[in-house]
Amino acid sequence: EIVMTQSPATLSASPGERATLSCRASQSVSSKLAWYQQKPGQAPRLLFYGASTRVTGFPARFSGSGSGTEFTLTISSLQSEDFAVYYCQQYNNWPPTFGGGTKVEIK
Amino acid sequence: EVQLVESGGGLVQPGGSLRLSCAVSGFIFSNYPMQWVRQAPGKGLEYVSAISSDGDRTYYADSVKGRFTISRDSSKNTLYLQMGSLRPEDMAVYYCAKVYATGIYYLDYWGQGTLVTVSS
């Protein structure tokens, strides 16, 4: 089973700041990496697939990059609605596995 | 509009059973694999089980294998998770989710979740 490790566990930032979230796979997952956003009391919501393809409805300040074992989710200028928990998930190997999440909180 | 609505959660004693349902609409249910994912209180996401579009292939996390059974009824557009021999560590919000496509197992739509509490 591929282990997904996200860092940091918590990121404290102010509105307008840039946020960089990392996700590392224990072995290569090619570009088969998804990101999800989860707000308190809500279900997760697909944000990216294929490592860098942003889902319709999310603004361009969100970007995804990486391949192999190293991936990054960047929020260029944090808005109030972006404070949430973000999870990465690999779907290259069975079973699909999630990272532990990064909580983006207001500083 | 794609909708997934879970039901069937509740309080159950250790060792007990529960059946979760997920009623879907807005897409051709029989064309897509489906998954159950759970989230323990304050914790991250954990894959639980998956089923192929035709229901012929089922998959389980090691933590639930032999205790949980996933199934689907295309005539009712409903996904099920039969849970047995429940343990305190099974307590979680259970989400059903639509898989993007066969072999491409990211989850493009999720239900709102149903809470399963395992306690005496």
Instruction: Quickly tell me which residue has 């260029």 as its tokens.
Output: A76
- Condensed to tens digits (0 to 9), the pLDDT of residues A44-89 reads 999 999 999 999 999 999 999 999 999 999 999 999 999 999 999 9
Region of A9 on the Ramachandran plot (φ > 0 left; ψ -120 to 50 alpha; else beta): alpha
Residue of chain B nearest A86, judged by CA positions: B44
User: Residue A97 has what pLDDT?
Assistant: 95
Give, in order, the Cα–Cα distances in Å from A77 to each of A74, A85, B24, B63, B112: 9, 16, 36, 40, 28
Q: Of A80, A73, A70, A38, which Cα lies nearest the Cα of A54? A: A73
Give, in order, the Cα–Cα distances in Å from B112 to each of A18, A87, B4, B97, B109: 30, 17, 7, 10, 10
User: Residue A107 has what pLDDT?
Assistant: 87
User: Residue B23 has what pLDDT?
Assistant: 98
| pLDDT score of B81 more than 90 | yes
- In this structure, chain A runs to a length of 107
User: Residue B103 has what pLDDT?
Assistant: 87
- Cβ–Cβ pairs < 8 A, chains A and B: 52
Nearest-CA distance from A101 to chain B in Å? 6
Residue of chain A nearest B43, judged by CA positions: A100
User: Residue A11 has what pLDDT?
Assistant: 97
Report the alpha-carbon distance of residue A95 to residue A2 in Å, rounded: 8
Report the alpha-carbon distance of residue A47 to residue A98 in Å, rounded: 14
| pLDDT score of B110 more than 90 | yes
Across the range B62-82, mean pLDDT stands at 97
Are residues B47 and A100, on separate chains, in Cβ contact within 8 Å?
Answer: no
Are residues B46 and A94, on separate chains, in Cβ contact within 8 Å?
Answer: no
